[in-house]
Structure 1
């Protein structure tokens, strides 16, 4: 959705990166068997692995690495704030409308930022606290 976690400058589906549609659909159906999905085009699994949607956790960000807002900002340096907000909204909308169990880290609902930090375990509270993103 947001781009590869390790290749921070790489945009994802929410940023308009082509070729990720089947991978997103795989997440939408919670890694289950679905007749409208071409598993050969999924970039991280070539077959369904869940027998029930409740076996899959859907998320676009967690406490590790960059939070969603920061990742979108790094991967889309020329994007306007309005476009970044749309990307964030699309990402989380897909998580919450997909099959499976949605997971949302604290603060993502209000564009949380960690000031771009991707490894904040030893950073002060000013970085790790849930603080508002650009409009806050």
Structure 2
């Protein structure tokens, strides 16, 4: 479904799928709806993990791609470590529903940011094509 989309567009779609999935988790407590929500969340996770490495590798210099790809998991896990403590404290102070709403907000912000970055890179590539023709 995303083979015709660039990595940034696919990452934005992943963010939207996260928003839909987490929105369903917060909105409906029934078991069947939770399975439906986790379908969206699983699709978003697969899309995120398959496209993020490709995007980062394509944006890095060719001489560093192997090193970056090899350390990407470690970098991601080091970046995630503080979030576990933050979310634990957030849940303790504000509760689970507020935590889900915070995650929905972060996913929305990420999806919107990826979409804006996609538009900016698309505009820049169109300007480069116009300059190279002239």
Q: TM-score range by the shorter chain?
A: under 0.3
TM-score, with length taken from structure 1: 0.27
TM-score, with length taken from structure 2: 0.27
Q: Which has the higher helix share?
A: 2
Q: Tell which structure's C-alpha radius of gyration is larger.
A: 2
